Structure formats: C-alpha cells, structure tokens
C-alpha cells in the first residue's frame, strides 16, 4: 500500500499493511532543514520552498506531507492584523485585530486571496501536491474557529465574554467558522487530501467541558460536515488534556483526532474505538526532540501498545515538533511502524 492508501484506510477504520506514522505539521522543522525562516519563505520562489518541504518530509519517512506552512497567524496579517516574524517558527500576532465584537462586521474575508502571502502559500502547496504525485497524502493545517477568535479578539476578552456576553462570542465564532471554510476551500481545490485543525484554546487546560459543548462543538460540526461533503479527511488536534471531553470530541465529525501527550491512549481507544481514528502522542519536546533515537523508538513502541489492537491509529507526536528536532529522531519514529527494531540512519 502507498502512504496515501494507508492514511485513507486508517481514517476510514479499514485494515492497513502497517500502522502509519506522521508528523503533526512540522513545517518550521522542515523549513529549517533548508535554512529558511517563515519570513524568508516569502522571499523565496514557491517552487524552491516546495522542494525543500517535500524533501524534508520524504527524508523523515512520514506518511503525510504537509503544505501551507505557517498559515494560521499569517491569515490574521492578510486580514489587516499585525504580526512579528521570528527567527524560527511561525510569526506572532502582535495585537488583537478587533477592539470590540462588532468590529467583525468591518472585516472583508474576500480580501484574503488578494494578499501576496496567501497567494505564495497556495502556490507552495500546489507544488507539494504535484511532487507527492498521488503517492503521499498532502495536508494543510490552520487554527480552528475558537483559536482564530482569540487571535483576533484576545484570549482574555474572549474568555470573559463567554460568561458575560455569549452572543458576542457566537458572532465572532460564526465569522471565524466562515473564515476557516473560505481559506480551506482554495487549498482543497488545489489538491489537499487532509485538512487539519489546531484548536489549543479548546483544551481542558483553557475552557470547561460546558463551554466546549456550548461554543466549540457547533462550529466544529459545521466545519467537518462541510469537509466531509468535499471528500477530504478532516483532522482535529487539541493541545493539553481533553480527557474529560473525549466523547464530545468524537461527535464533531472529524475523521482523525490527534491527541496531546497528556491524554492516555488506552482511554482514547476505549472512547474512540470503532467511531473515529486517532493519533498520538509522544511528548514532542522531552522525547522527540530531547531523547536519543533508541529512546524515541522505545516510547513509540509503547504508544503503539497503549493504542491497542483494532487499527484506526496513527503514530504521531503529541503536538508540533520544535524546529531543532534531530532528523534521526523522526526517522526512529517512522521506522518503528515499519518493523525496524534498531535505529538505522
């Protein structure tokens, strides 16, 4: 089976030749292999960036190739917000785009694709799809509606209004849901197989189960129903501990749930088995970046054991990996699913 067939079957809870292994994006790591920061990406020809990204992912052995690097925060810039580029990693949003919830009505989503940066990211993704040539699935990642809302309005403002001004929060979430679908539509048209959503603000470390059910679940159900109709694999990653809401997470319509290392994979198997595929969940800093390849492989084998029998599981770091992660550590992860007992550089 090709990597694409393995991922498609896993997402559909069908048998595969082996378990798949993949990074959760890893764009900053992949760019670093070619000496590129996110800011330099925008000064480099899209074809060269596509070559660098595709080459990095291929060398790692991952079963998913990722496009649209750094898109999450750059969307805010495309809509008129201010960002600050880092030496490594995605840019930071400098200040909220909205002063008050009603300002959302002044933002024109149609200007998104007039932005040169958005056009560049789309060209890079199109080039990666061409290089994958149907053998590898190509994914794109974007912040989910709640996290986009915090970037646009400020986390403290949003958390306060969840209690005091619920209608205002719902108004912003309606906008960011539409923004998410508008952005991903163009990438789907250019060949994406997987649309991954990062929703760190929806973590149990950030909001209650009740607020998750009230504000997040309806937005996610709308998004994943749309992605399902477009015949792409919808994936969801929520940072932190979501053990108290695994049942709610399995109901939103995502085909793959990516789990942080704080979630017990045995609990996830019990909650998700036969309902939805799941992925996880080695500590990306302490293990994937910080350990030896041999130790990485040992932790990966334990994750496979904890995830249990029955398929529908992708071996994956519990979050995005740091840019300085050694290549051999990623290779140690991807070799485990191929039955390699000893790391082979």
Per-residue pLDDT reduced to its tens digit, 106-141 = 999 988 888 888 899 999 999 999 999 999 999 999
The CATH number of whichever domain residue 65 belongs to comes to 3.20.20.210
Distance of alpha carbon 291 from alpha carbon 329, whole angstroms = 8
Query: What is the domain range of residue 84?
Result: 3-336
pTM score: 0.95
Residue 172 lies in a domain: yes
Is residue 345 assigned to a domain? no
Is residue 14 assigned to a domain? yes
Is residue 190, in this structure, part of any structural domain at all?
yes
In a domain, residue 343? The reply is no
Is the residue at 344 inside a domain?
no
Q: What's the structural domain count of the chain?
A: 1
- Each residue of 293-344: pLDDT tens digit? 999 999 999 999 999 988 999 999 999 999 999 999 999 999 999 986 655 5
* Domain assignment present for 65: yes
Secondary structure of 191-257 as H, E, C letters: CCCEEEEECHHHCCCCCCHHHHHHHHHHHHHHHHHHHHHCCCEEEEEECCCCHHHHHHHCCCCCCEE
């Amino acid at each position: 089976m090709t990597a694409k067939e393995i991922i498609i079957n896993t997402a559909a809870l069908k048998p595969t030749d082996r378990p798949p292994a993949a990074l959760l994006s890893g764009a900053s790591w992949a760019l670093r292999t070619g000496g590129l920061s996110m800011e330099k990406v925008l000064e480099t020809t899209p074809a060269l960036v596509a070559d660098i990204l595709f080459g990095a992912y291929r060398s790692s052995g991952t079963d998913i190739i990722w496009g649209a690097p750094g898109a999450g925060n750059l969307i805010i810039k495309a809509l008129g917000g201010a960002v600050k580029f880092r030496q490594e990693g995605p840019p930071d949003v400098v200040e909220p785009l909205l002063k008050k919830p009603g300002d959302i009505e002044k933002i024109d989503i149609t200007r998104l694709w007039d932005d040169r940066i958005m056009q560049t990211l789309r060209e890079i993704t199109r080039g990666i799809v061409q290089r994958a040539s149907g053998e590898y699935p190509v994914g794109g990642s974007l912040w989910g509606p709640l996290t986009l809302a915090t970037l646009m309005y400020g986390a403290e403002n949003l958390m306060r209004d969840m209690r005091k001004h619920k209608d205002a929060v719902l108004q912003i979430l309606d906008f960011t849901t539409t923004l998410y679908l508008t952005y991903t539509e163009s990438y789907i048209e250019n060949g994406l197989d997987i649309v991954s959503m990062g929703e760190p603000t929806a973590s149990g470390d950030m909001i209650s189960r009740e607020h998750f059910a009230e504000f997040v679940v309806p937005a996610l159900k709308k998004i994943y129903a749309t992605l399902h109709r477009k015949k792409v694999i919808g994936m969801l990653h929520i940072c932190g501990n979501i053990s108290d809401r695994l049942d709610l997470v399995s109901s939103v319509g995502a085909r793959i749930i990516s789990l942080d290392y704080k979630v017990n994979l045995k609990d996830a198997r019990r909650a998700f088995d036969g309902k939805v595929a799941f992925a996880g969940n080695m500590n990306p800093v302490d293990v994937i970046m910080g350990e030896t390849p041999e130790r990485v492989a040992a932790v990966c084998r334990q994750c496979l054991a904890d995830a249990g029998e029955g398929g529908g599981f992708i071996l994956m770091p519990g979050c995005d990996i740091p840019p300085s992660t050694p290549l051999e550590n990623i290779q140690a992860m991807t070799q485990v699913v191929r039955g390699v007992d000893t790391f082979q550089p």
